[in-house]
Structure 1
Amino acid sequence: MEGASPATFRPTWQQGLGHGLYLGVLGAVASVTTGVMTALLWSGPPGWTWAALIVAPLLVGAVAGLLAGRRTGVEVGDRGIRTSSVFEEGLAPWSRVVDLRAERRGRRTVVSVYLDSGASVQLHAPYSGGLFAADPQFELKVCALSHLWRSHRFGGLPG
């Protein structure tokens, strides 16, 4: 099956939105803190400015999270498992993968890939957690990943 299209796993839109809102809240805290410091040193800004200092970072964060979620993910193909995110990319060839399993890390369940060197790589997707991080199809995605790994590890994809 040389020409088979790779399986792709990406964060759900809710997970991307959750990441973005988290960053937006951090941005809103920073902008409101700057506004308070400015108000203490000089005259206070108009009332509508405070709403803009809160809402603008939240909107920017939400859009950025949704866009970054489209760039982040895992592609499983003939050559191995390719991970990509906004800041980095990596490839784990099938010959180096010795185990693949779902593990609890903090408040999330993630997929970890163990390599023959003893190192482990946490995949960017799929994962599942609470609230915005929940993925209702997480178990199906882990089963699909496990099936693909076992198929490549023990004799190729069934034809």
Structure 2
Amino acid sequence: MLAEFRLTWRQAVVRGLRWGGLGTGAVIVIAGALPGHRQLSELAWVAVLAPLPLGVLCGTADRFRARVRLDEAGLRGRAYGAYAFVAWRRVVDVRAERRRGRTVVAVYLGDAGPLRLRAPYDGVLLDRDPRFEQKLVLICQVWEGHRHGSREPEARPLS
């Protein structure tokens, strides 16, 4: 393995807070639609605030799930299932693209559309990755070095 990229801890926590905030918002909307919603007990406040820490835990778990590995044969990306493998000879270009408020690494394949990697990426404010450019350059360098297949030197007898 030449390199492995994951979400940064800060990105994982921010992602979890987003999920938790959405869950809290859903609980508030559902509680507001129920009859007698004006009298919130202490137990109801726990139900409203419970999705936040659960979201942070899910975001932290997502840090370990969303990763990309680079090796001599190609690129292996993992989201929520098994690893997807792309050989270097199939890759036509590697670029940074803006998608949904983030800068992501897009790997263009000769026979299919682009593959957008889940890590690394660079967002705004707390979702930033200060080393994103370095990671992008490393991915490009590995691709340039391996895209024409393995070029191992021929074995020569010792004299």
Same fold (TM over 0.5): yes
Cα distance, 1:119–1:141 mapped onto 2, change above 3 Å: same
Is the 1:128–1:138 Cα contact (8 Å) retained in structure 2?
yes
Q: Quick one: distance in 2 between partners of 1:53 and 1:42?
A: 13
Q: What CA RMSD, in Å, does the superposition of the two structures yield over aligned residues?
A: 2.2
Q: Quick one: distance in 1 between partners of 2:92 and 2:84?
A: 17
Deviation at 1:49, TM superposition (A): 2.8
Cα distance, 1:137–1:157 mapped onto 2, change above 3 Å: farther
Aligned counterpart for 1:12 among listed residues 3, 8, 14:
8
Cα distance, 1:79–1:158 mapped onto 2, change above 3 Å: closer
Choose between structure 1 and 2: higher helix proportion.
1
1:16-95 aligned within 5 A: 16-38=12-34, 40-41=35-36, 44-46=39-41, 48-87=42-81, 89-95=83-89
Q: Which has the larger radius of gyration?
A: 2
Return the letter of the residue paired with 1:129: G
**Per-residue deviation, residues 4-24 of structure 1 (Å, max 9, x unmatched):** x33100010111111111111
The answer for unaligned runs of 5 or more in structure 2 is 154-159
Aligned counterpart for 2:90 among listed residues 85, 90, 96:
96
Q: Quick one: distance in 2 between partners of 1:43 and 1:101?
A: 52
1:113-128 aligned within 5 A: 113-128=107-122
Return the letter of the residue paired with 1:44: Q
1:119-158 aligned within 5 A: 119-154=113-148
Cα distance, 1:93–1:33 mapped onto 2, change above 3 Å: same
How many residue pairs get aligned? The number is: 153
The answer for unaligned runs of 5 or more in structure 1 is none
Q: Which moved more, 1:28-37 or 1:71-80?
A: 28-37
Question: Percent identity of the aligned residues?
Answer: 35
TM-score w.r.t. length of structure 1: 0.86
Deviation at 1:158, TM superposition (A): 9.7
Is the 1:17–1:132 Cα contact (8 Å) retained in structure 2?
no
